[in-house]
Amino acid sequence: MSDEELKKLPLAEKIIEKGGLKLDVYNNTYESFREMKTIAKNITEVLKKKITKVDKRINFDFVDRGEFEAELKFGSDMLVISMHTNVFEFPREHDIMNLSYIKKDITRSYCGIINMYNFLADSYKYNRVNDVGYLVARIFINREYHYFVEGKRQIGLMYNNFSKAKIDKSSLKKILETAINYCVDFDLLTPVYDSIKVVSISEMLENTMNLRTGKRLGFRFQVDQDDAE
């Protein structure tokens, strides 16, 4: 059987079509993530120069953790950005699937994802492995470089025009700056008393710093108070 005959087989056609689509989406997401890391590094350097002139105690740092992860440290916060290596499609009930942009071409619904998590810088500094971080935003990018962002507060509201918006340096910079701003405003609250009133001996003997810490630990994080208003 020739290569041309093999390509015409229904199963082969389907694998070639779907495989090529997912590779296109992956490459677009990977390219955008690499650009995002470069922008994140530049933002960190600019902020560091400006703010340390006023207060040298405030730390800024950018750490490239490899192909699929990077960290931005600013003050007491850390923003971890990571790219998922797989390609996803939205469930049928998702609002995105009702867009005419998607209905005209269902392949546009396949997206790569870049996640952005907010952690406490001290969680990493002191190796507090039980501490928790929170998903601030996730960026969806399709084969046409169209994108939208699911996120907390203003992040999700500002970047949700999937039918028209295309990811580029400018949009990546704005998303990063908005996420950093959110992290700074998202303060560490005193946990509910009942959530920390019982501590094991092993936790105390190992290190009191191993007690679980998070910005909304003991509180309902699913809906921020100002989101519900």
- pLDDT tens readout for residues 35-44: 999 999 999 9
Q: What are 54-78's pLDDT values in tens digits?
A: 988 888 899 999 999 999 999 889 9
Q: Is 15 exposed, middle or buried (0-12, 13-18, 19+ CB in 10 A)?
A: exposed
Question: What confidence score (pLDDT) does residue 222 get?
Answer: 39
| Contact between 81 and 115 (Cβ < 8 Å) | yes
CA 52 to centroid of chain Cα atoms: 27
204, pLDDT greater than 50: yes
Lowest-pLDDT range of 13-17, 28-32, 106-110, 200-204: 200-204
Question: What confidence score (pLDDT) does residue 122 get?
Answer: 84
Q: What are 115-159's pLDDT values in tens digits?
A: 999 998 888 888 877 778 889 999 999 999 999 998 876 666 566
Question: What confidence score (pLDDT) does residue 129 get?
Answer: 76
H or E stretch covering 139:
strand 134-141
Highest mean pLDDT among 3-17, 101-115, 155-169: 101-115
The 3-class secondary structure across 23-54, one letter per residue, is HHHHHHHHHHHHHHHHHHHHHHHHHHHHHHCC
The band of 14, judged by pLDDT with boundaries at 50, 70 and 90, is confident
Identity of the amino acid at 174: K
Beta strands at 134-141 and 147-151: parallel, antiparallel or unpaired = antiparallel
Question: What confidence score (pLDDT) does residue 32 get?
Answer: 98
More confident residue, 103 or 152: 103
CA separation for the pair 68, 50 (Å, rounded): 29
Tokens encoding 225: 């108070």
What is the pTM assigned to this prediction?
Answer: 0.81
Question: What confidence score (pLDDT) does residue 210 get?
Answer: 46
The mean predicted confidence, pLDDT, of the chain is 82
Question: What confidence score (pLDDT) does residue 228 get?
Answer: 42
pLDDT cut 90: percent of the chain above it: 48
Identity of the amino acid at 170: S
DSSP 3-state assignment of 220?
A: coil
Question: What confidence score (pLDDT) does residue 211 get?
Answer: 55
